[in-house]
Amino acid sequence: MESKTHHHNHSTTLCPEERLDQSLETLKEKGFKLTNKRREILEIFIDSDRYLTAKQVYQSLAEKYPTMSYNTTYRNLYDFVKIGLLESTEYQNEQLFRISCEGEDHHHHHFICTNCGKTIPLEICPMDHIQTDLSQVEVQMHRFEVFGLCADCKAKQEA
């Protein structure tokens, strides 16, 4: 059985401008037109660095782009997930999106605040602890997420 090493490295932190430039370069490489709307969607995620719903993204663009439809926003988010610019997950039947973590070889999981969408990387992978023999199968993907209230939201709730 081929052993896959999980990397948990957060040391390569780019500034927001570099992340945006890198993301726009990826868009171009994948054949997408660089529009102001796409740039602003990426800026929203880079600046917030948390999970957001498509509706939240749509609402923050609606004033500047009144003709932009919710479907266009949603389609762009899914395109960004397909090419690796965004990560997505689901919570209570709603799709959530965030800027992808940096680094080609990154591998970690997240604690996700159910109130504000803030994420905390979890430096453990349950795959490292599975006792079941998976040598006869090909694991293509796995996900492990913990949902709850971050310290700030918990403190506000208790106040």
- 107 annotated to a ligand binding site: yes
Domains of the chain: 16-99 (1.10.10.10), 109-158 (3.30.1490.190)
More confident residue, 159 or 10: 159
If you average pLDDT over residues 46-64, what whole number do you get? Answer: 93
Q: How far apart are CA 23 and CA 102, in angstroms?
A: 11
Average pLDDT, the chain: 84
Q: Residue 43: its pLDDT value, please?
A: 95
**How many helices, marked H, and strands, marked E, lie in the chain?**
5, 6
125 is in an annotated binding site: no
Give residues with Cβ within 8 angstroms of 140, minimum separation 6: none
Residues with Cβ within 8 Å of residue 102, at least 6 apart in sequence: 10, 12, 13, 14, 19
Q: Per residue in 121-150, pLDDT tens?
A: 888 878 778 878 888 988 887 778 888 999
Task: Using a pLDDT cut of 90, give the percent of the chain over it.
Answer: 48
Which 8-state DSSP code applies to residue 136?
A: T
| Predicted confidence (pLDDT) per residue in 3-50, tens digit | 333 333 333 467 888 889 999 999 999 999 999 999 999 999 999 989
Query: Quick one: pLDDT band at residue 62, thresholds 50, 70, 90?
Result: very high
| 106 confidence band (pLDDT: 50, 70, 90) | low
CB 115 within 8 A of CB 153: yes
Show the DSSP H helices in the chain as ranges. 16-29, 36-48, 54-62, 70-82, 151-158
3-state secondary structure of 108: coil
Taking the model in full, what pTM does it have? Answer: 0.74
Both tokens assigned to 83: 């090419």
Ligand-binding site membership of 15 (annotated): no
Q: What is the pLDDT of residue 29?
A: 95
**% of the chain at pLDDT higher than 70:** 88
> What letter represents residue 71's amino acid?
N
